[in-house]
Structure formats: C-alpha cells, structure tokens
Amino acid sequence: MKLNQFVIIGLGRFGSNLGRELVRLGYEVLGVDRDEEKVQELSNVLTHTIVADATEEEVLRSVGARNFDCGVVAIGDDIQASILATILLKELGVKKVVAKAVSDLHGRVLERMGVDRIIYPERDMGVRVAHQLVSPNLLDYIELSKKYTIAELAVPQCWSGKSLEDVDLRGKFGCSIVAINKPQGMIIAPAAKDVLSTEDVMVVIGTNDQIEQCQESFDSGE
Ligand code: ATP
C-alpha cells in the first residue's frame, strides 16, 4: 500500500519535524493541534493545518480524517489525549495508525489498541546513537527482525582498493554486501570484482552477530 496523505495530530517537536519532512518528500500533510501558535508556525509549511482538539470525534470527522492513508498521533505528555485520538483514528477507519509513546506502559496500551506502529523517539534515538558511538564504521542500520539487520558500514582503511572477492565478507562472517554507495552512484547487487574505497558506504545484510563480528574486525584492523 502506497501512503500518500498523512494526518498528524500534535505539532510538537516530533510531529512538526515529521510533517516538514513528509512535505519535503512530496507528500500531503494535514497538521492538527489545539495550540494556535503551533499551528500558525506550520501554516505555510504543511499542506493544510487546523486548530482543533483531536479528542473530539466530530472534529476528526469534519476534517475527513478517515480519508487519510496514515494517521500519526504525535501527542506524548497528555497520555489520555494520545489514547483518545488514537481510538478515534482507528474507529474512523484510517488505514494505518502510528503513535508516539513516551513510556513502556503508554506503548503497551497503544499496542493493545492495535496501533500499526509505535514510536519511542527518545528511546529509539538513544539506542541508535549508542550503537553508532561504539561502532565508528556503523553509519546507520535497520532492524529487519529481532535477528536480522541491514547496516550501512563505512569502508575501513584496510579494505581500500580491495575487491569484494578479496575481502570475502560472506566467507569470513556470513553476511552479504547487497549494495555499495559510491560518490559516483549506487551499485546494487555488486559483483565480486567491484573494488571498495574509503569514500564508499557498504550496505550489508546479515544476522546481528555476523554484522557485529564484521565491525569488530574493522576495529581490530584485520
Ligand atoms: P514533542 O516532544 O514532540 O515536542 P511535547 O512533549 O513537547 O512533544 P506533547 O505533550 O507530546 O508535547 O504534545 C505535542 C503536541 O500535541 C503539542 O503541540 C500539543 O499542543 C498537542 N496536543 C496535545 N493534546 C492535543 C489534543 N487533544 N488535540 C490536539 N493537539 C494536542
């Protein structure tokens, strides 16, 4: 399902930055906040904005919330408001509902309500930054499941000028390079003869253990 239209409830730091980025990426965004000042700030940025209390069913009905492909509840501190707005979006039939949680308990309640995706912005970012701080070669990663990860790894100095065949990532660690992002462009499904340089970024898929071992070998300069 391709998501095109988003409604964001709550235009705090998280909701407003999410909205800005979605608009930058070319999507339509309706921003809803009960705080007039927040709405004013984004009125020229988002596609539509409205000052309203999202815990009122009539409000969400009248803005046609049910026609949006995805609803994001970005209210954190007021857990009651977050839960009410989430229930309303679900009941109105919004196809995909995403909600921000500020605590484990808040997240568990949202999970019980059948929210499609729960985001813990501070916790998730803390975990991500911790991984990047302890592994200098790790630029970014996506957890595909509890076991598998796709990681973006900087090419270590010791691999510069070597081909994929020479470094033999699969043979040594079991993980695979699925793409190489070079300054001149991306190579998808690279060949064994493709050569790495320190300016490149490798996109590697494997189990968490395999990727960890691979990073450790970079640190030890092998
Ligand atoms: P952030 O960390 O994203 O900045 P915050 O902790 O500062 O969030 P929150 O309490 O999470 O603020 O609320 C985010 C936004 O949601 C605020 O701008 C607030 O006005 C708005 N908001 C809260 N309750 C409602 C509601 N019932 N209807 C509409 N907007 C609401």
Architecture of domain 5-119: 3-Layer(aba) Sandwich (3.40)
pLDDT at 140: 87
Q: What is the pLDDT of residues 25-80, one digit of tens each?
A: 999 999 999 999 999 999 999 999 999 999 999 999 998 988 999 999 999 889 99
- CA–CA distance, 203 with 194 (Å, rounded to integer): 14
pLDDT at 220 > cutoff 80: no
Q: What is the pTM (predicted TM-score) of this model? A: 0.78
CATH 3.30.70.1450 fits 124-220, yes or no: yes
Ligand 1 proximity of 107 Cβ (cutoff 6 Å): no
Give the distance, in angstroms, between the CA of residue 29 and the centroid of all CA atoms in the same chain: 17
Ligand 1 proximity of 33 Cβ (cutoff 6 Å): yes
Q: Are 6 and 30 in contact (CB under 8 A)?
A: yes
Q: Where in the chain is the domain with CATH 3.40.50.720?
A: 5-119
183 CA distance to ligand 1 middle (Å): 40
Q: What is the pLDDT of residues 12-40, one digit of tens each?
A: 999 999 999 999 999 999 999 999 999 99
pLDDT band at 222 (very low <50, low <70, confident <90, very high): low
